[in-house]
Amino acid sequence: MKNIRLRGVVDRAARADENDTLQIKSALGALGYYKTPGYGVTPYPDEPMFDGIKKYQRDNKLRVDGVMKPGGETEDSMNNRVADVQATERARHGAKVRRKQRHGQPGPTDAAGKICPDGYYSTNEKFCVPFTGVCMDNWVCRPYPSGGGTRG
């Protein structure tokens, strides 16, 4: 997941950029502050997003106003927290794969049966892609039988 780079202010009173909204929902989801509503993820601001922003601000001792600004304290804090989560997950995932490989179990494979390199996982057994430790909002990360991870 890339850092949030807002184009404009995001609050209930302003018209939010669709890309800004999706970035915020993705970051909040990765940090456990946004649960995808039954109608799915949309590029439009919704109450669960604003509730997640406020809860994130409260939990991280930031100004609780439900507003995010380009380069603001909430954006900076979220970028730092997501980076921390990704680093932890990459380290944990790499250790798990190395442990499995030491015990003679191969890593995940691509469609051709080629074993994915360390730190990669297989997407539905088709492609090897880097494991970042964070899944998209409505995807489920689950362990790959040989120690990698898949999104499904």
Those residues whose C-beta lies under 8 Å from the C-beta of residue 136, and which sit 6 or more positions away, are 26, 29, 151
Given this model, what pLDDT does residue 137 score? 40
Indicate the angle between helix axes 73-102 and 18-30, nearest 10 degrees. 50
| Average pLDDT value for residue range 50-72 | 97
d(CA 147, CA 121): 9
Residue 140 has pLDDT above 80, yes or no: no
pTM of the model: 0.62
Amino acid identity, position 68:
M
27: confidence class by pLDDT, cuts 50, 70, 90: very high
CB 93 within 8 Å of CB 120: no
Q: Is residue 148's pLDDT more than 70?
A: no
Q: Could you tell me what percent of the chain has a pLDDT over 90?
A: 43
Cα–Cα distance measured from residue 2 to residue 50, given in angstroms and rounded to the nearest whole number: 21
Please provide the DSSP assignment of 55-93 as one string. Answer: HHHHHTT---SS-B-TT-HHHHHHHHHHHHHHHHHHHHH
Judge whether 63 and 57 are in contact, CB under 8 Å: yes
